[in-house]
Structure 1
């Protein structure tokens, strides 16, 4: 058991009684017991409620079991809860906050939400309500955006703060240290919290001999981002729970059933708002997770694609954090050939492309013109006929697309639906495919959001996705190659782009 500073020793007028202090000490490793005894269930504002809901008990049991075991107590506990509407997420955050602040001296709790408005008008007041109704209400001083111990010597070290986030200002989350004590970090409406905030918070929760509990709650509205990955790529780090609102006491079952009747059990609306499941495709998402998942599961035999032309797509590094990516596509088959950290030596990159072009006997090479003009020029000097592709060009084969980037992504989407295969181990490409969203246009043309907009949403530039999409820039015919020594010379005016 870690050393603890004494629990509150208030003046006689503020000390509720010794029994409450003893209860708080006894519930240190049992938030479930605290939630049962710290509130007057069935009375006043809690009239009609006989205690926490079953799913809340389950979360509290998880925390209690984690803390009761000395082997896990000082390992970070990360819990993710995706749910439909009305299950009582704010109530659970309020009960957990009050438990931690009441049962641990010098506890530090940090709470954030998807927007400052949500935090200030909904999350903070709801959590404050549970403090106000608790048997330890008189231990704490509640302000609009903080809850502090009334002990004047410890009000700064024993507190809960409601902090709005910004991807450009994450210092508040970088300061999540409370060595030798306890940290409780709560995310409300986590699906819309910027990935950068997650990264900074994750890096800060590293104190040794410290109880660290990080719980994120949200409706699963987006099929990309860190909240989604709690249940997918990072599921080994998180204890995940997906809660159907219909299984929770007190929810409006009639309204929920109406949603099911109107839209269907497997519709995205019901998945998100009722079942606590992530949508197959978010509202503005261009390529659905279902299509990308299907592409991961496709297994091709060589005879199913060997007849098709070999095409290379090259997406040069966009910023210092982005790599240069080279992808190969042959019919329904695809493969990442190289990913290189940003390299401003165009000749070096051109030599690599030329080597891969020869090794795989590529029939065409397409290079993103945005940052690839120097590479293509070096290729020309080497006798190569690589084609530059201008993503912003509005001269496209299908007038339904706003520009070339939207067009080639549209062709890639069709390819996926037709049975295109991607490497199931390539998580980066998968995330690139499901990441971009569309931009609403009055003329109805399809336009993808810019890379800048994606980074504002916390998503990286989809370099691998762009590199694969480049292989759809133009129709390509397979070159006719003659065996060495036959004396037959290929036609010099052959156009590999048809």
Structure 2
């Protein structure tokens, strides 16, 4: 292991530690962040995608645990995927870069510790899904790592603030600036004087490709919130005429989902391509979680119907659904244009093989159809309003509660939902803009978003069905 003299030197020189011991080369901004941890108690980094923040966090963990006696390093992120599949895997990767480090530091699925000191010299991973995630840690040397901090609930930060009252406690939090309120937002705004803050624009990062930046510009424009957050590392503007603002969508994406053995809700949705460059998108929902199954450019209705039948059969097998004890799966299909062919094909399959496809319950849906409703002008607006309610639900007393739908982390989906504008009709009803209007202002067809709207649309089951 390192000599005492080397440890004393590297404790104040994390960049050199990363270069000499880990064998990595931080870029200019990464080096500034590492040095900030030494000289400042609280460091907050907002950035676009792909600038290497997970690497910085991993380097910081390895540096701190190696150069500080008996430290404790609690690490958290909004979801298990972000924490374990990205940050924790990054720590494992860089630890293996040095044979001595690899032999002295023991990595497990939830803990990194100095050999022989598993209880008092460690870093630990805990998802930010419960308020006590970062409670109960006490040590002379502490380093809190909070990844995707914009998506972490304020209650998680309370024990951190208490711990930071000790002189050797440090905080590093990084993330895309997705929310317009909260602890992370305040660290770059009203509480900025208390922090060493960094703003990293992906356009200035050597780790972000020009192709990625140009793709986002071409698809959504430099004036879009998607570009601001995911490339420029700026907080969203939340335009007044956007129906579902980006922070609401990002909060759903970053919400932890714990699957149940037998879901209470299983729904399938399919948006069928109308034109040459549009996509056919098939997705499904199990309880709160939405996933995409297949995306394809094209209008092959037979293939689309077969894919839906395959997905449904997989869900039936996975969750051991049986006709004598389970309800059929609602399959909601865009019935406009060529979508009618998919509806007809699925109905034919069920007629010809009723025992095999007992689980099919088919619901054709028309987007943009006028409806009789007190507040909403058409079916698309009603579906957007339903999704908005799931993204920002309230209890019986009117207080906000946890989101009721967890969306996939899909750039196209996030942009489509958060980029759709709305207005008021002459009779005072809300109407979101049509696909035609969106395309006229250069926005791609919202195929992923329309699939999600179908997935989340509540259905009125036939009278002979329960539930």
Q: What's the TM-score once normalised by structure 1's chain length?
A: 0.49
2:126 is the alignment partner of 1:163: yes
In structure 2, the residue matched to 1:59 is: 33
Task: Give the 3-state SS of the residue equivalent to 1:141 in structure 2.
Answer: strand
> C-alpha displacement at 1:177, in angstroms?
1.8
CA contact (8 A) 1:79 1:238 kept: yes
Task: Give the 3-state SS of the residue equivalent to 2:216 in structure 1.
Answer: helix
Residues 288 and 32 (structure 1 numbering): CA distance in 2 closer, same or farther, change over 3 Å?
A: closer
**Cα distance between partner residues in 2 of 1:443 and 1:274:** 26
Aligned counterpart in structure 2 of residue 32 of structure 1, from 15, 28, 35: 15
Task: Give the 3-state SS of the residue equivalent to 1:213 in structure 2.
Answer: strand
Aligned counterpart in structure 2 of residue 174 of structure 1, from 135, 143, 154: 135
CA contact (8 A) 1:111 1:163 kept: yes
> C-alpha displacement at 1:455, in angstroms?
4.5
CA contact (8 A) 2:393 2:402 kept: no
**Cα distance between partner residues in 2 of 1:261 and 1:237:** 38
**Cα distance between partner residues in 1 of 2:30 and 2:246:** 35
In structure 1, the residue matched to 2:50 is: 86
| CA root-mean-square deviation | 3.0
Residues 62 and 205 (structure 1 numbering): CA distance in 2 closer, same or farther, change over 3 Å?
A: closer
> C-alpha displacement at 1:453, in angstroms?
6.1
Kindly provide the CA deviation profile for residues 108-127 of structure 1, in whole angstroms up to 9, marking residues without a partner as x: 11101111232222221112
In structure 2, the residue matched to 1:136 is: 101
**Cα distance between partner residues in 2 of 1:287 and 1:255:** 20
In structure 1, the residue matched to 2:383 is: 442
Matches within 5 A, 1:371-386: none
Task: Give the 3-state SS of the residue equivalent to 1:228 in structure 2.
Answer: helix
Residues 286 and 111 (structure 1 numbering): CA distance in 2 closer, same or farther, change over 3 Å?
A: closer
Kindly provide the CA deviation profile for residues 292-324 of structure 1, in whole angstroms up to 9, marking residues without a partner as x: xxxxxxxxxxxxxxxxxxxxxxxxxxxxxxxxx
Matches within 5 A, 1:79-158: 79-134=43-98, 135-150=100-115, 152=116, 154-158=117-121
In structure 2, the residue matched to 1:377 is: none
**Cα distance between partner residues in 1 of 2:9 and 2:47:** 31
Matches within 5 A, 1:278-317: 278-281=235-238
> C-alpha displacement at 1:284, in angstroms?
6.4
CA contact (8 A) 1:94 1:129 kept: no
In structure 2, the residue matched to 1:422 is: none
**Cα distance between partner residues in 1 of 2:74 and 2:137:** 8
In structure 2, the residue matched to 1:232 is: 189
Q: Could you list the runs of 5+ residues in structure 1 that have no partner in the other structure?
A: 1-15, 42-50, 67-76, 290-397, 403-439, 458-498
In structure 2, the residue matched to 1:252 is: 209
Q: What's the TM-score once normalised by structure 2's chain length?
A: 0.53
In structure 1, the residue matched to 2:375 is: 400
CA contact (8 A) 1:110 1:184 kept: yes
Structure number with bigger Rg = 1
Aligned counterpart in structure 1 of residue 180 of structure 2, from 223, 238, 242: 223
**Cα distance between partner residues in 2 of 1:185 and 1:129:** 20
Matches within 5 A, 1:43-58: 51-58=25-32
Task: Give the 3-state SS of the residue equivalent to 1:114 in structure 2.
Answer: coil
Residues 156 and 261 (structure 1 numbering): CA distance in 2 closer, same or farther, change over 3 Å?
A: same
Kindly provide the CA deviation profile for residues 208-255 of structure 1, in whole angstroms up to 9, marking residues without a partner as x: xx4111011111122222222221222222222111111111222112
Task: Give the 3-state SS of the residue equivalent to 1:27 in structure 2.
Answer: helix
Residues 125 and 287 (structure 1 numbering): CA distance in 2 closer, same or farther, change over 3 Å?
A: closer
CA contact (8 A) 2:42 2:171 kept: yes
Task: Give the 3-state SS of the residue equivalent to 2:192 in structure 1.
Answer: coil
**Cα distance between partner residues in 2 of 1:222 and 1:94:** 24
**Cα distance between partner residues in 1 of 2:3 and 2:23:** 14
Matches within 5 A, 1:469-480: none
CA contact (8 A) 2:78 2:129 kept: no
The range that moved more, 277-286 or 254-263, is 277-286
In structure 1, the residue matched to 2:278 is: none
CA contact (8 A) 2:178 2:247 kept: no
Task: Give the 3-state SS of the residue equivalent to 1:62 in structure 2.
Answer: helix
Task: Give the 3-state SS of the residue equivalent to 1:111 in structure 2.
Answer: strand
CA contact (8 A) 2:213 2:231 kept: yes
Aligned length: 269
**Cα distance between partner residues in 1 of 2:186 and 2:14:** 27
Task: Give the 3-state SS of the residue equivalent to 1:173 in structure 2.
Answer: coil
Task: Give the 3-state SS of the residue equivalent to 1:254 in structure 2.
Answer: helix
Matches within 5 A, 1:274-423: 274-281=231-238, 399-400=374-375
In structure 1, the residue matched to 2:422 is: none
